[in-house]
């Protein structure tokens, strides 16, 4: 699987991280309002962030790349968030994820980014099952899952936590588009 260099929407560019993103990524990973509801590393030192970024950059050219990308405003290139996807160890689903800086929430950016990422995952990678796991108190992410066409399929217990489970199948996506 090859992670795309760049995806574009009307207002966003979703692109691979670069070495120039170190400072932005460090600030992002140390903002508890951004990372609090994700499983991304948090409270990292500058050295830990640099090691994490180097791992991402190397992975893009490996057999098993990490699908983590920066969400940027098209108008000025400013990094406003992160998104990506990963195989789910305990199922045949592929999980998508996103996180936005607080100042850029409630503007439709997450919806726009997730719709583009899903389009790429289904039409290019031929992925059949895409899911989101949301903590029950993350109402915004549950609403986003519904907006992008996912259906709630109950609650799942993972790593001693309960998550609301949302699913979008290839068939559901193709029938709605």
Residuewise pLDDT in 10s, the chain (177 residues): 678 899 999 999 999 999 999 999 888 888 877 776 665 666 678 999 899 999 999 999 888 888 899 999 999 999 999 999 988 877 788 999 999 999 999 999 999 999 999 999 999 989 999 999 988 888 999 999 999 999 999 998 877 888 999 999 999 999 987
Tell me which residue of 84, 75, 1 sits closest to 39, measured CA to CA.
Answer: 84
pLDDT given at position 175: 93
For residue 25, what is the enclosing H or E element?
helix 22-29
Token representation of residue 24: 């932005």
pLDDT given at position 75: 96
For 21, 68, 100, 127, 134, the CA distances from 168, given in Å and listed in that order, are: 31, 20, 22, 10, 14
pLDDT given at position 37: 60
**Does CATH number 3.40.50.1370 belong to domain 6-128?**
no
Q: How distant is the alpha carbon of residue 34 from its chain centre?
A: 12
Q: What is the rounded distance in angstroms from the CA atom of residue 114 to the CA atom of residue 134? A: 15
pLDDT given at position 36: 66
Q: What is the rounded distance in angstroms from the CA atom of residue 43 to the CA atom of residue 96? A: 23
Give me the residue spans of the domains in the chain. 6-128
């Amino acid at each position: 699987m090859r992670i795309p260099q760049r995806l574009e929407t009307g207002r966003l560019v979703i692109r691979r991280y670069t070495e120039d993103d170190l400072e932005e990524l460090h600030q992002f990973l140390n903002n508890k309002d951004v990372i609090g509801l994700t499983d991304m590393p948090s409270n990292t030192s500058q050295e830990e962030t640099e090691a994490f970024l180097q791992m991402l950059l190397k992975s893009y050219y490996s057999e098993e790349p990490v699908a983590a990308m920066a969400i940027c405003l098209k108008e000025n290139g400013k990094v406003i968030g992160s998104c990506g996807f990963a195989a789910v160890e305990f199922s045949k689903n592929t999980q998508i994820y996103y996180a936005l800086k607080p100042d850029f929430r409630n503007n439709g950016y997450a919806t726009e980014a997730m719709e583009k990422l899903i389009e790429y995952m289904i039409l290019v990678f031929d992925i059949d099952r895409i899911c989101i796991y949301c903590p029950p108190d993350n109402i915004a992410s549950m609403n986003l899952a519904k907006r992008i066409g996912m259906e709630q399929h109950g609650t799942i217990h993972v790593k001693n936590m309960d998550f609301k489970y949302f699913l979008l199948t290839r068939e559901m996506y193709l029938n709605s588009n």
